[in-house]
């Protein structure tokens, strides 16, 4: 538990035994930076799912103690703070900030309508074109969150980041009030200086393939061949490369390949749910892609099912996830972000950060001797106020990703 402060921001996170104990630890830290007329007017609040049932009580307490009415946030199976991660325990992470008057607009509006098109929100958007939107979604929302995000992007022309609520209990989102079954968040006007970056958690292990036959979420053919055959060939290729063997010597049957003595133990993750399908966001882009889980492999028809509707003509590739790929890509993304800001502005002086990462990354401990995501951010970006959570899907550029990390910096 610690307090981090900068110009206009302060953050604290802690775990505890229950919602009162945990709230007290965080609030005591944040109260130390509060002074009369200090102009703090906004807060991010992330609550671990162990405390999900107490979300309303926690929000009301934070409003009352800190005298801040404007809050956005979510429930997560883990939360993060400055240099700290809290998973699988009662925990809260909060960050308070001061923004210029009328520079942000929280939705849904306080009239309780569960949509980002309330009258006062629309009026604010007309006068204040947003640069950034931070959005939290319930994956069980009545309307597909991806559709809402696409509509919001078209309506506001803002850059949308955020995350899907992850919870083993209630799926709540915070937007001044507590909601479920919602898409909610905050618009920031274009004069609020921000920067964002996306880090992938997976690494391509195949070329880009074209779907030549599909049925809803099932890939039947890739490049005019049975999808499963192509998948097996790609796995043989990458396993051969990693073990220094000739691809032609590998067994081509997937089940036999998984149990083959030819595969060194350190490469067996290729066959233990660590390989996924990625949807490139351009014709042959191996840098920006959305990862989707493989949900079924059907040997008789040679098909593969994934967690996304696909169509003939779409492109896919196979990617691998492991702790090495996560750390390497996060480091690269952070260094590139730092260089970009330094080049554009001549300095790099972020005041606060919001980090939303995949729950699969949060629950996989870093290899011994390797730094965690939060430690890498601290080393490369700096020791600044930070808050965030582990999500069930990460939002970047109005798209829902998987296995990624999305960092937003406030300047």
CB atoms within 10 A of CB 283: 8
Residue 38: its pLDDT value, please?
87
Helices (H) and strands (E) in the chain, counts: 9, 28
Alpha carbon dihedral 330, 76, 106, 83, in 10-degree steps, equals: -50
Among 12-21, 114-123, 241-250, name the one with the lowest average pLDDT: 241-250
Q: Among residues of the chain, what percentage have pLDDT more than 90?
A: 73
Among 140-149, 318-327, 393-402, name the one with the lowest average pLDDT: 318-327
Domain boundary at 276, 298, 320, which?
320
Among 96-100, 203-207, 236-240, 373-377, name the one with the lowest average pLDDT: 236-240
For residue 58, what are the β-bridge partners? none
Q: Do 284 and 149 share a domain, yes or no?
A: no
Q: Do 41 and 184 share a domain, yes or no?
A: yes
Q: Do 192 and 219 share a domain, yes or no?
A: no
Q: Do 145 and 36 share a domain, yes or no?
A: yes
b/e burial code for range 27-47 (CB count within 10 A of at least 16 → b): bebbeebeeeeeebbbbbbbb
Residue 212: its pLDDT value, please?
98
Residue 241: its pLDDT value, please?
72
Contact present, 15 and 91 (Cβ < 8 Å): yes
For the segment 165-193, the average pLDDT, to the nearest whole number, is: 96
**Chain-wide mean pLDDT for the chain?**
89
Q: Do 135 and 9 share a domain, yes or no?
A: yes
Q: Do 219 and 313 share a domain, yes or no?
A: yes
Q: What pLDDT digit, counting tens, does each position of 126-175 carry? A: 999 999 999 999 998 888 999 999 999 999 999 999 999 999 999 999 99
pLDDT at 260 over 60: no
Domain boundary at 320, 349, 375, which?
320
Q: Do 18 and 117 share a domain, yes or no?
A: yes
Contact present, 101 and 73 (Cβ < 8 Å): no
Q: Do 38 and 179 share a domain, yes or no?
A: yes
Q: Which domain holds residue 112?
A: 2-200+325-410
Report residue 264's pLDDT band, with 50, 70 and 90 as the boundaries: very low
Q: Do 265 and 403 share a domain, yes or no?
A: no
pLDDT at 111 over 60: no
Q: Do 68 and 117 share a domain, yes or no?
A: yes
Phi, psi of 410 (to 5 degrees): -110, 135
Domain boundary at 320, 353, 381, which?
320
Q: Among residues of the chain, what percentage have pLDDT more than 70?
A: 87
Q: Do 62 and 42 share a domain, yes or no?
A: yes
State the residue for tokens 């972020």: 350
Residue 85: its pLDDT value, please?
95
**How many CA atoms does the CB half-sphere of 72 hold within 13 Å?**
24
Instruction: List all residues 6 or more positions away from 327 whose beta carbon is below 8 Å from its beta carbon.
Output: 366, 370, 371, 373, 376
Q: Please give the tally of structural domains in the chain.
A: 2
pTM: 0.89
Burial class (CB in 10 A: 0-12, 13-18, 19+), 191: exposed
* Three-state SS letters, 267-294: HHHHHCCCEEEEEECCCCCCCCEEEECE
Residue 191: its pLDDT value, please?
95
Strand order in the sheet with 394-396: 104-107, 183-189, 130-137, 159-164, 394-396, 399-401
| Structure token digits, residue 398 | 């109005």
- Rounded Cα distance between 198 and 404, Å, is 7
Q: Do 335 and 211 share a domain, yes or no?
A: no
Residue 245: its pLDDT value, please?
65
């Amino acid at each position: 538990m610690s307090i981090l402060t900068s110009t206009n921001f302060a953050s604290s996170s802690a775990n505890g035994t229950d919602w009162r104990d945990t709230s007290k630890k965080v609030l005591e830290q944040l109260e130390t930076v509060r002074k009369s007329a200090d102009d703090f007017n906004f807060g991010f609040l992330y609550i671990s799912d162990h405390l999900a049932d107490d979300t309303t009580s926690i929000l009301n307490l934070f409003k009352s103690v800190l005298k801040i009415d404007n809050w956005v946030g979510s429930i997560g199976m883990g939360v993060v703070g400055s240099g700290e991660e809290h998973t699988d325990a009662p925990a809260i992470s909060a960050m308070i900030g001061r923004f210029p008057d009328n520079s942000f607009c929280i939705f849904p509006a306080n009239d309780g309508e569960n949509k980002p098109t309330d009258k006062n929100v629309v009026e604010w958007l007309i006068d204040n074109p947003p640069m950034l939107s931070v959005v939290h979604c319930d994956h069980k929302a009545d309307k597909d969150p991806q559709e809402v995000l696409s509509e919001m992007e078209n309506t506001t022309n803002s850059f949308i980041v955020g995350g899907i609520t992850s919870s083993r209990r209630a799926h709540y989102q915070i937007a001044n009030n507590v909601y479920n079954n919602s898409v909610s968040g905050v618009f920031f006007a274009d004069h609020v200086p921000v920067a964002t970056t996306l880090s992938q958690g997976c690494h391509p292990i195949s070329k880009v393939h074209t779907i030549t036959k599909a049925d809803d979420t099932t890939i039947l053919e890739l490049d005019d061949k049975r999808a499963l055959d192509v998948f097996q060939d790609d796995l043989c290729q990458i396993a051969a490369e990693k073990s220094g063997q000739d691809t032609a010597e590998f067994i081509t049957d997937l089940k036999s390949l998984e149990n083959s003595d030819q595969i060194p133990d350190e490469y067996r993750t290729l066959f233990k749910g660590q390989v996924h399908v990625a949807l490139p966001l351009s014709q042959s882009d191996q840098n920006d892609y959305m990862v989707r889980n493989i949900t079924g492999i059907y040997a008789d028809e040679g098909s593969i099912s994934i967690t996304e509707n696909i169509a003939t003509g779409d492109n896919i590739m196979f990617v691998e996830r492991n702790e090495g790929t996560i750390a390497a890509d996060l480091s690269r993304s952070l260094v590139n972000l730092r260089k970009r800001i330094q080049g554009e502005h001549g300095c790099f002086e972020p005041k606060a950060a919001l980090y939303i990462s995949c729950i699969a990354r949060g629950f996989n401990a870093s290899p011994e001797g390797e730094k965690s995501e939060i430690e890498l951010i601290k080393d490369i970006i700096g020791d600044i106020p930070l808050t965030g959570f582990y999500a069930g899907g990460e939002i970047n550029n109005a798209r829902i990703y998987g296995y990624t990390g999305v960092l937003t910096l406030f300047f």
